[in-house]
Amino acid sequence: PSTIRTKSRVFKIVTIPGDGIGVDITEAAVAVLQKLAAVSGTFEFEFTEKDWSSKKYQERGYYMPEDGLDQLKKFDAIYFGAVGWPDVPDHISLWGLILPIRNALGQYVNVRPTRVLRGITSPLKDCGPGDLDWVIVRENSEGEYAGHGGTTHGAFSHAIATEVSIFTRVGIERIFRFAFETARSRPRKKLTMVTKSNAQRHGMVLWDKIFTEITKEYPDVETDKMLVDAMTVRMTLHPKTLDTIVATNLHADILSDLAAALSGSIGIAPSSNLDPTREFPSMFEPIHGSAPDIAGKGIANPIGAFWSAAEMVRWLGFTEAADGLMAAIENVTEAEIKTKDLAGASDTKTVTEAVCKEIEK
Amino acid sequence: PSTIRTKSRVFKIVTIPGDGIGVDITEAAVAVLQKLAAVSGTFEFEFTEKDWSSKKYQERGYYMPEDGLDQLKKFDAIYFGAVGWPDVPDHISLWGLILPIRNALGQYVNVRPTRVLRGITSPLKDCGPGDLDWVIVRENSEGEYAGHGGTTHGAFSHAIATEVSIFTRVGIERIFRFAFETARSRPRKKLTMVTKSNAQRHGMVLWDKIFTEITKEYPDVETDKMLVDAMTVRMTLHPKTLDTIVATNLHADILSDLAAALSGSIGIAPSSNLDPTREFPSMFEPIHGSAPDIAGKGIANPIGAFWSAAEMVRWLGFTEAADGLMAAIENVTEAEIKTKDLAGASDTKTVTEAVCKEIEK
Ligand SMILES: CC(C)[C@H](C(=O)O)[C@@H](O)C(=O)O
Ligand SMILES: CC(C)[C@H](C(=O)O)[C@@H](O)C(=O)O
């Protein structure tokens, strides 16, 4: 033939829509990713869907089949909707699906960028785009989510239960190195490390100690330390002073929800569960949950899902396409095509179509 | 004599100014309490000061003498400034002074009221006095602050450290009962219970279980449950929907700092460490810390200290005097006599004198 067509790379993506609005927003994200691939011409996606959900759990007694984790390993990336449903206790659903994936696939980093997008209003006075631009690096494999602990004398008046947080040097060093690399890659090169080492004298003090060591490897990164309680004050009253943030599994879980709220809505916030060694596929999910109250109504905010999709595209190596998707998203929010949680009047489909149209431009 | 003077009751108060601005604001609180007593005519205070501080620790190697806790038991109440100083690791200072007092004196409740005072500006849009009016009831004796945990292989690359949270039925039941009583005493009679029981399957699930039980004892109190991460979103985006809040030691530590920030400044927030059995003296302290950067400059915000003093007066049984002190405080903030953290230009002394003058009115 007279024209040579460069062959585009095909990525195998497994989607797990899960529960509630996870289903709505995964569908929306897939549509946007297809459009992005078509326009880019340099990559393609082949989607496989897994119907692992609370509904299935109630039918058959498990979330994932026994070889579930092995099935996932065959893909280039995992796109996750949400898990959690009123009929199943949350600790069953989460330990049945999302937490084992994070743990077994070596996804020891959870990255949560937050900023005030164009057209979106922060609940804070005087806080527009540019005034709040953070990346929260969350330890994703140990700490408060290590899964240790138990209950003794459960049925008696002297019942006692424990939650045991585990911190290892291996786990701490690797999350700090990732956080420093992230900070280094950003214009301001600032890293704030969060602990509660005044009250928690073992794991948290080990965090402090190892942070001091690793800091020496990155003389070009400016660092400071905060206690997790005081950190909420700084985020609320002095958002401009923060850039990259590193915190434990639980602390960053709390701070990243606060960050999402301060940037306008939990519905816009993305997260990437990364295995930086790239031995296993990484997983991308919006940080909002299954939102049973609005599930199936077609009104869920898909922005967090699109932003997560953009981070997946970035992780797969297509920076320009990822930036293009983010620009498309912000053009749409700026045009006031927004869902109800953002004080708009559009439904999921309208926002999705608007983003697809922007991608085509 | 021809006039009969009703004898006023004398309360023995021990003050522990501690470190940094703890010294400035304790002095201010004592002045205000003296004035309040003089005006009331029904109670008097006899103050005894303990110079237990980080400075003393550096000189003599301990914060409290061996019989320190026993010394405190002889008083009617404890007024605490702040502890923590850059030269001493925080986990040494806090476990040397404030935490053992909370634990040994049976102060199993920490009450943290928050509201937007007249004349104070919330960082949130559309949030004036009345829009944010909460009481956070913090479990103060176990949980993440139980002091358990340790480090193994500390010097090696396979180092591991743990933080162990302990939850007991006794501890959980009593904090819930206190929280329900608090909710019941407020006009809206609403209690929100916070956990992270989706990720933490033992202690947090025991919280859930016991909450369901105790709820039945208080049919007149409306309840709901939140996960701690989502709670930060609700506090930020829907402050009006909350009233009384109960949470674990660490969760409430974080949420109460956020609450203080949302109501304007960490400098205004009070706390009461209570032994509801009244076997031991309770302790009152502002929630801000020692603030080394502004220590000794005479510019610390004394409002958190005055509010804590008001809570002490209330605990000792003088509701009217406590309300009077709160009114005096709010008259002063409304008159824009405020410190720098509240965008004012007054120093500690000016604010203190203004509050004393208001008390006289
Ligand atoms: C669903 C839950 C287990 C999860 C977490 O706590 O990690 C969620 O809150 C999140 O932030 O991703
Ligand atoms: C100083 C510190 C130990 C303390 C705590 O975490 O309890 C403080 O943050 C508080 O909130 O009273």
Final residue belonging to a domain, choices B243, B262, B281: B262
State which amino acid sits at residue A330: E
Question: What is the DSSP track for A27-42?
Answer: HHHHHHHHHHHHHHSS
Q: Atom 7, ligand 1: which residue's CA is nearest? A: A253
Q: How far apart are CA B37 and CA B39, in angstroms?
A: 5
**pLDDT score for A5:** 57
Q: Is there a contact between A161 and B254 if contact means CB atoms under 8 Å apart? A: no
Atom nearest to A84 CA in ligand 1: 1
| Cα–ligand 1 centroid distance for A253 (angstroms) | 7
Residue A233: CB within 6 Å of ligand 2? no
Q: Is residue A306 part of a domain?
A: yes
Q: Which helix (H) or strand (E) holds A71?
A: helix A68-73
Q: Is there a contact between B167 and A162 if contact means CB atoms under 8 Å apart? A: yes
Q: What's B277's DSSP letter? A: T
B225 shares its domain with B282? no
B298 shares its domain with B349? yes
Nearest to A258 among B94, B150, B236 (CB): B236
**pLDDT score for B355:** 98
**pLDDT score for B26:** 98
- Structural contact between residues A101 and A43, judged by C-beta atoms closer than 8 angstroms: no
**pLDDT score for B241:** 98
**pLDDT score for A303:** 98
| Cα–ligand 2 centroid distance for B192 (angstroms) | 22
Q: Is there a contact between B198 and A228 if contact means CB atoms under 8 Å apart? A: no
Rounded-to-10 torsion of CA A118, A120, A121, A124: -70
A153 shares its domain with A214? yes
B287 shares its domain with B330? yes
Q: Count of domains in chain B?
A: 2
A226 shares its domain with A294? no
Terminal alpha carbon distance of chain A: 29
Mutate which of B198, B201, B205, B226 for ligand 1 pocket (most atoms within 8 A of beta carbon): B198
Q: Is residue B242 part of a domain?
A: yes
Q: Among residues B262, B306, B246, B16, which one has the least CA distance to residue B120?
A: B262
Q: How far apart are CA B43 and CA A351, in angstroms?
A: 65
B176 shares its domain with B249? yes
Mutate which of A78, A253, A308 for ligand 1 pocket (most atoms within 8 A of beta carbon): A253
Ligand closest to Cα of A253 equals: 1
Q: Is residue B116 part of a domain?
A: no
Output the tens digit of pLDDT for each of chain A's 361 residues: 445 556 779 999 999 999 999 999 999 999 999 999 999 999 999 999 999 999 999 999 999 999 999 999 999 999 999 999 999 999 999 999 999 999 999 999 999 999 999 999 999 999 999 999 999 999 999 999 999 999 999 989 999 999 999 999 999 999 999 999 999 999 999 999 999 999 999 999 999 999 999 999 999 999 999 999 999 999 999 999 999 999 999 999 999 999 999 999 999 999 999 999 999 999 999 999 999 999 999 999 999 999 999 999 999 999 999 999 999 999 999 999 999 999 999 999 999 999 999 999 9
Q: Atom 5, ligand 2: which residue's CA is nearest? A: B253
List residues near ligand 1 (CB under 6 A): A 94, 98, 253, 287; B 198-199, 229
**pLDDT score for B4:** 58
B290 shares its domain with B258? no
Final residue belonging to a domain, choices B213, B235, B262: B262
Establish, for the pair of chains A and B, how many residue pairs have beta carbons separated by less than 8 Å. Answer: 208
Q: Is residue A275 part of a domain?
A: no
Residue A199: CB within 6 Å of ligand 2? yes
- Angle, to 10 degrees, between the axis of helix B348-360 and the axis of helix B21-40? 10
Ligand closest to Cα of A101 equals: 1
Q: Is residue A310 part of a domain?
A: yes
| Cα–ligand 1 centroid distance for A95 (angstroms) | 11
Q: What's A114's DSSP letter? A: E
Shortest Cα–Cα distance, A187 to chain B (Å): 27
- Map residue B17 onto helix, strand or coil: strand
Q: How far apart are CA A145 and CA A27, in angstroms?
A: 29
Q: Is there a contact between B254 and A254 if contact means CB atoms under 8 Å apart? A: yes
A19 shares its domain with A85? yes
| Cα–ligand 1 centroid distance for A84 (angstroms) | 10
> Closest chain A residue to B84 measured between Cα atoms?
A198
A77 to A35, A326, B353: CA distances (angstroms): 18, 19, 64
Q: Is there a contact between A150 and B202 if contact means CB atoms under 8 Å apart? A: yes
Final residue belonging to a domain, choices B262, B294, B321: B262
Atom nearest to A98 CA in ligand 1: 3
Nearest to B163 among A157, A169, A203 (CB): A203
Q: Is there a contact between B254 and A266 if contact means CB atoms under 8 Å apart? A: no
B240 shares its domain with B142? yes
Mutate which of A78, A85, A94 for ligand 1 pocket (most atoms within 8 A of beta carbon): A94
> Closest chain A residue to B98 measured between Cα atoms?
A199
| Cα–ligand 2 centroid distance for B253 (angstroms) | 7
A55: domain range?
Answer: 7-107+287-361
Q: Among residues B179, B275, B276, B165, which one has the least CA distance to residue B225?
A: B179
| Interface probe with A: pick from B163, B214, B341, most Cβ of A within 10 Å | B163
Q: Is residue A281 part of a domain?
A: no
The CATH code of the domain that includes B154 is: 3.40.718.10
Interior/surface letters B2-13, b for 16+ CB within 10 angstroms, e for the rest: eeeeeeeeebeb
Q: Is there a contact between A201 and B253 if contact means CB atoms under 8 Å apart? A: no
Nearest to A159 among B90, B123, B169 (CB): B169
The contacts of residue B148 (CB under 8 Å, 6+ apart) are: A162, B162, B163, B164, B165, B166
Q: Is residue B236 part of a domain?
A: yes
pLDDT in tens, A273-282: 999 999 999 9
Q: Atom 1, ligand 2: which residue's CA is nearest? A: B94
Q: Atom 1, ligand 1: which residue's CA is nearest? A: A94
Q: Which residues of A touch B204 (CB under 8 A)?
A: 91, 163
| Cα–ligand 2 centroid distance for B306 (angstroms) | 18
Return averaged pLDDT per consecutive 10 residues of chain B, 361 residues in all: 66 98 98 97 96 96 96 98 94 93 97 97 95 98 96 94 97 98 98 95 95 98 97 98 98 98 97 98 96 95 98 97 98 98 96 98 90
B194 shares its domain with B238? yes
Atom nearest to A82 CA in ligand 1: 1
Q: Is there a contact between B159 and A150 if contact means CB atoms under 8 Å apart? A: no
Q: Among residues B299, B298, B323, which one has the least CA distance to residue B313?
A: B323
As given in the structure block, the two tokens for residue A156 are 């008696």
Atom nearest to B199 CA in ligand 1: 3
- Structural contact between residues B102 and B273, judged by C-beta atoms closer than 8 angstroms: yes
As given in the structure block, the two tokens for residue A216 are 């020496």
B194 shares its domain with B146? yes
A46 shares its domain with A147? no
| Interface probe with A: pick from B233, B265, B290, most Cβ of A within 10 Å | B233
Q: Is residue A272 part of a domain?
A: no
Q: Is there a contact between A200 and B99 if contact means CB atoms under 8 Å apart? A: no
Nearest to B202 among A123, A161, A170 (CB): A161
